[in-house]
């Protein structure tokens, strides 16, 4: 049986973190009364026009720079036409011909064979980033055979990030999306939370034999978490391989991931190839961006987006943060991944380090093995931890000063989890866990043990 | 080159226009011939213009909330509503297939 090469590409829609929408002044907010965050433009009433939100442009430029893209100083807006109840205009304003950023790359890391100690770095090319409008929300009421439409989300700004088919499995896709999520959250350009629909991922999957042309690809939608992304991609790869090995063919179709059944199914309402009849958006001139060199002297700075100005103010990206943690604290690279992966864990670790004499290289063990595993067992976030950095530092100081043993420290920690507000020293005294430091006392104890075990001592001395 | 029935059907589905009768189709035919005159111009080495606004400045708005909160007004025009939601059919209702359409090109 000839080997199969799976090919995975991703289309990611990240909702831009802004107060108002991409082309109108209505508010961007999750969970508000239906149709309360809708302007006349969002409802597509005649006579309304789009007005571009500068914050959305800045968010896209930041993201493009963080993903090593070329920023197009001139980009254009287009209309993409299709009919659906939650798209009142009958078209979406997007950037199909010349988007705001192109040709970037994203580096991400994977553990080989599930071992944290062996990490490998991979890169995926970013084809482009484009600004576009989100659609409203449809609630399907099958019992009454109708759809309820809420336009609160219609017109919210999106950045579509297109990743080239450089990935080969669910694990790579998940790792790439996770890194993108961390980058977006660090930049603040998107909250990128999949659960709230602020980050949506569609996967394009195909398989082929090495040396042969790429196979027919399918698009997989309705993926609601990073874990499900890996599952959906791997399932679809397997489905295609089985189909082809049984002599079948792959249809160029859109499929939905069913998380309950763990499989992909063909989607309704997506029959036949769509013809979106792209045309230039007649109501919007080209979007011009400037840099330090091209900046016109007498222009109102409120009307200017300066790429260099934004570049200078980019925060440390996750990869830089990790390198700094490794350098500053002498921890391992895989430790830095775990620290950044859990919301608030880096701050927790750094706070403990500040308050204890114990070396960071030792502290990290307590953070990753003891603290984190406890939190995971009880499904708690770092912020919900009953043990604060102060308490943990206090405990580690006792250990560092050799007032208690490592085993005793673990016992104290187990008590601290109960969150009863007791200080570590209190618990040590209560449970009599203090290490005996007095030489004479230790000799007495040893002597007592030897005295009580005469026979065993004789046998040991005789060899 | 005449516009074929398949092209007309395709256009009607995409744009939800109704060419209705042979006069409508004839008008479409003439419009295409009129636009085809553009091919007579030599455009070698000329950058296409995609907007008459290309020399205008694209105005950038501050990210402030200035609109919305007009649910009642928006729903006033809705034929059907359920608790402040617009009501739509369960999915797109496809046009009948070409073979099944009686009204296609009425009076042609």
pTM here is 0.88
- Cα(A394)–Cα(B95) distance, integer angstroms: 73
CA distance B102 to chain A (A): 23
| Separation of alpha carbons A96 and A78, rounded Å | 6
The pLDDT of residue B103 is 59
Question: How far from B91 is each of A197, A270, A383, A444, B69, CA to CA, in Å?
Answer: 22, 11, 43, 86, 28
Distance CA A102, CA A67 (A): 10
Is B103 touching A (CB cutoff 8 A)?
Answer: no
> In this structure, is the dihedral angle defined by the CA atoms of residues A191, A194, A199 and A205, taken in order, positive or negative?
positive
Cβ A12 vs Cβ A207: under 8 Å: no
Cβ pairs A/B, distance under 8 A: 144
CA A78 from chain center: how many Å? 29
By mean pLDDT, which of A336-345, A388-397, B44-53 is the weakest?
A: B44-53
Does residue A235 register a pLDDT over 70? yes
Q: Which of A51, A76, A287 sits opposite B61 (nearest CB)?
A: A51
Say whether B85 and A149 touch across the interface (CB within 8 A): yes
Beta strands in A60-193 (DSSP E): 70-71, 74-75, 78-81, 91-94, 101-111, 119-133, 137-141, 146-150, 157-167
Identify the closest residue of chain A to B67 by CA–CA distance.
A26
| Mean per-residue pLDDT of chain A | 92
Cβ-defined contact of B63 to A19 (cutoff 8 Å): yes
| Beta pairing, strands A254-258 & A199-208 | unpaired
For A396-445, what is each residue's pLDDT tens digit?
Answer: 998 888 888 888 888 888 888 887 878 888 888 887 778 777 777 788 88
pLDDT value of residue B5: 83
Contact B91 A269 (CB under 8 A): yes
SS3 A266: strand
Per domain, the residue ranges of chain B are 1-40
Is some CB atom of chain A closer than 8 A to the CB atom of B49? no
Q: Is B35's Cβ below 8 Å from some Cβ in A?
A: no
B6 near A CB under 8 A: no
Residue B102: pLDDT above 70? no
d(CA A95, CA A77): 5
Beta bridge partners of A94: A78
Cβ burial, residue A258 (10 Å; 0-12/13-18/19+): middle
d(CA A413, CA A422): 11
Q: How far is B76 from chain A (nearest CA, A)?
A: 12
Neighbours of A332 (CB within 10 A): 16
Tell me whether residues B63 and A302 touch, CB distance under 8 A: no
Burial of A82 per CB tally in 10 Å (0-12, 13-18, 19+):
middle
Q: pLDDT value at position B108?
A: 45
Mean of all residue pLDDT scores within chain B: 86
A106 or B25, higher pLDDT: A106
Average pLDDT rounded to a whole number, residues A326-349: 93
Which is it for strands A279-280 and A287-288: parallel, antiparallel or unpaired?
unpaired
**pLDDT tens readout for residues A159-178:** 999 999 999 999 999 999 99
Q: Between chains, do A140 and B88 touch, taking CB under 8 Å as contact? A: no
The answer to whether A218 and A236 have CB atoms below 8 angstroms apart is yes
Burial class (CB in 10 A: 0-12, 13-18, 19+), B2: exposed
Nearest of A419, A342, A435 to residue A387 by alpha carbon? A419
What pLDDT score was predicted for residue A269? 52
Contact A54 B60 (CB under 8 A): yes
Mean pLDDT of B71-89: 94
Residue B97, CB half-sphere, CA atoms under 13 Å: how many? 2
């Amino acid at each position: 049986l000839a080997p199969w090469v799976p090919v995975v590409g991703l289309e990611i829609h990240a909702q831009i973190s802004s107060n108002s929408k991409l082309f109108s002044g209505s508010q961007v907010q999750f969970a508000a009364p239906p149709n309360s965050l809708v302007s006349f433009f969002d409802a597509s009433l005649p006579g309304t026009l789009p007005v571009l939100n500068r914050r959305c442009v800045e968010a896209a430029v930041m993201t493009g720079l963080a993903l090593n893209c070329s920023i197009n100083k001139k980009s254009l807006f287009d209309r993409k036409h299709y009919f659906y109840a939650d798209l009142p205009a009958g078209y979406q304003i997007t950037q199909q011909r010349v988007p705001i950023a192109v040709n970037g790359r994203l580096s991400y890391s994977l553990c080989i064979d599930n071992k944290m100690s062996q990490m490998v770095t991979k890169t995926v090319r970013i084809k482009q980033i484009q600004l576009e409008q989100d659609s409203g929300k449809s609630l399907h009421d099958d019992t009454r055979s109708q759809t309820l439409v809420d336009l609160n989300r219609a017109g919210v700004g999106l950045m579509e990030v297109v990743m080239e088919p450089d990935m080969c499995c669910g694990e790579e896709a998940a790792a790439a999306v996770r890194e993108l999520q961390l980058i977006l959250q660090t930049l603040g350009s998107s909250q990128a939370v999949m659960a709230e629909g602020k980050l949506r991922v569609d996967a394009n999957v195909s398989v082929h034999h090495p040396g042969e042309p790429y196979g027919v690809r399918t698009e997989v939608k309705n993926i609601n978490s990073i874990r499900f992304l890996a599952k959906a991609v791997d399932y679809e790869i397997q489905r295609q391989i089985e189909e082809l090995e049984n002599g079948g063919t792959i249809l160029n179709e859109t499929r939905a991931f069913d998380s309950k059944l763990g499989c992909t199914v063909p989607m309704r309402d997506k029959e036949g190839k769509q013809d979106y009849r792209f045309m230039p958006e007649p109501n919007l001139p080209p979007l011009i961006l400037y840099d330090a060199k091209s900046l016109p002297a007498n222009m109102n700075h409120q009307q200017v987006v300066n790429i260099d100005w934004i570049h200078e103010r980019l925060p440390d990206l996750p990869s830089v943060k990790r390198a700094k943690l490794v350098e500053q604290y002498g921890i391992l690279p895989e430790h830095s991944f775990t620290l950044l992966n859990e919301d608030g864990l880096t701050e927790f670790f750094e706070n403990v380090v500040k308050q204890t004499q114990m070396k960071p290289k030792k502290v990290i063990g307590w953070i990753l093995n003891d603290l984190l595993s406890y939190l995971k067992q009880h499904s708690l976030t770092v912020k919900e931890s009953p043990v604060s950095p102060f308490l943990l530092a206090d405990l580690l100081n006792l250990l560092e000063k050799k007032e208690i043993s490592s085993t005793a420290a673990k016992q104290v920690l187990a008590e601290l989890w109960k969150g009863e507000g007791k200080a570590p020293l209190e618990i040590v005294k209560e449970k009599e866990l203090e290490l005996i430091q007095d030489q004479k006392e230790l000799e007495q104890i040893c002597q007592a043990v030897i005295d009580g075990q005469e026979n065993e001592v004789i046998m040991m001395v005789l060899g | 080159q005449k516009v074929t029935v398949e092209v007309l059907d395709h256009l009607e589905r995409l744009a939800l226009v109704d060419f209705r009768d042979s006069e409508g189709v004839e008008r479409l035919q003439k419009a295409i011939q009129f636009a085809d005159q553009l091919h007579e111009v030599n455009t070698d080495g000329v950058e296409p213009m995609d907007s008459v606004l290309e020399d205008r400045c694209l105005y950038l708005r501050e990210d402030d909330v200035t609109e919305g909160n007009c649910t009642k007004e928006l729903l006033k025009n809705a034929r059907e509503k359920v608790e402040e939601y617009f009501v739509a059919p369960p999915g797109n209702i496809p046009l009948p297939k070409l073979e099944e359409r009686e009204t296609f090109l009425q009076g042609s």
